[in-house]
């Protein structure tokens, strides 16, 4: 049976309902992961959980040790990864509280350690990243969202920015021209690193605010946190359906 890892983003620093078996502190060749890996049973299945930003939430998107996180999860036995990401909505359909299962990603981040294939190598490796998300894992998320009755989109382009600041309205306008539907700060290099480790990977994105210039109101952390309170509960229910 496949052992799934869940990477929790903003608002999901712990997985309610997880029956704890073990907490593993893993050192990697790339340093320490964001947090200890929580091993247990969720929805009747073996699950590994990792808080991307630490627990409590303390690591900014550009400072997450993505390499250590993915390496540690695979070392702990992960065979597939579901990432939960809080994002901003660019496309008109992506309103607050809407879910998206992206099918593509554009990377606007910079300066991050983004590959395992670096340093003193025997040979250069180029992964095929034409389709960054695993098709079967995406389909399972889509079926679970349908069953849960969530408002969602079964495809979309995730634009990954550097953070930790939010984007300007002009940057969002450019991203929209590029074809982005949602914007976040943690989608890359996480997805590419999973592919390098041959781990099936998919993203469950929750829209927690309209992107810059997409609403008249100022984007506030209070509004984002309110959207997270409701949305993360639904995300947990969706994850339970995927695993069960």
- Residue 211 in marked binding region: yes
- Residue 185 in marked binding region: yes
Cα separation, 15 vs 18, in Å, equals 6
- Contact (Cβ atoms closer than 8 angstroms) between residue 28 and residue 71: yes
- Residue 209 in marked binding region: yes
- Residue 53 in marked binding region: yes
- Residue 65 in marked binding region: no
- Contact (Cβ atoms closer than 8 angstroms) between residue 23 and residue 55: no
- Provide the terminal-to-terminal Cα distance of the chain, rounded to the nearest Å: 12
Q: What DSSP assignment string belongs to 39-96?
A: EEEETTEEEEEEETTTTTT---GGG--HHHHHHHHHHTT-SEEEEEEEEEE-STT--T
User: Cis omega (within 30 of 0) on the bond before 189?
Assistant: yes
Tell me how long the chain is.
244
**Other beta carbons within 10 Å of 124:** 6
Burial grade of 60 (CB within 10 A; 0-12, 13-18, 19 or more): middle
Residues belonging to the binding site for substrate are: 185, 209-211
Residues belonging to the binding site are: 10, 52-53, 185-186, 209-211
Residues belonging to the binding site for phosphate are: 10, 52-53, 186
């Amino acid at each position: 049976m496949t052992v799934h890892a869940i990477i929790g983003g903003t608002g999901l620093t712990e997985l309610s309902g997880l029956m704890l078996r073990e907490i593993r502190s893993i050192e990697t060749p790339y340093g320490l992961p964001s947090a200890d890996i929580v091993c247990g049973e969720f929805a009747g299945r073996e699950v590994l959980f990792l808080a991307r930003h630490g627990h409590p939430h303390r690591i900014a998107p550009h400072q997450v040790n993505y390499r250590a996180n993915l390496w540690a999860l695979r070392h702990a036995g992960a065979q597939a990864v579901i990432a939960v990401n809080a994002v901003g909505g660019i496309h008109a359909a992506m309103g607050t509280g809407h879910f998206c299962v992206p099918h593509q990603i554009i990377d606007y981040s910079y300066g991050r350690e983004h590959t395992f294939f670096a340093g003193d190598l025997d040979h250069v490796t180029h992964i095929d990243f034409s389709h960054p998300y695993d098709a079967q894992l995406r389909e399972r998320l889509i079926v679970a969202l349908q069953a849960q009755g969530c408002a969602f989109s079964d495809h979309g382009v995730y634009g990954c920015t550097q953070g930790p600041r939010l984007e300007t309205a002009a940057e969002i306008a450019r991203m929209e021209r590029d074809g982005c539907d949602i914007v976040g700060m943690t989608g890359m290099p996480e997805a590419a690193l999973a592919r390098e480790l041959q781990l099936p990977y998919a993203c469950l994105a929750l829209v927690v605010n309209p992107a810059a210039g997409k609403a008249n109101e100022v984007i506030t952390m209070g509004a984002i946190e309110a959207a997270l309170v409701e949305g993360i509960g639904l995300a947990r229910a969706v994850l339970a359906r995927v695993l069960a």
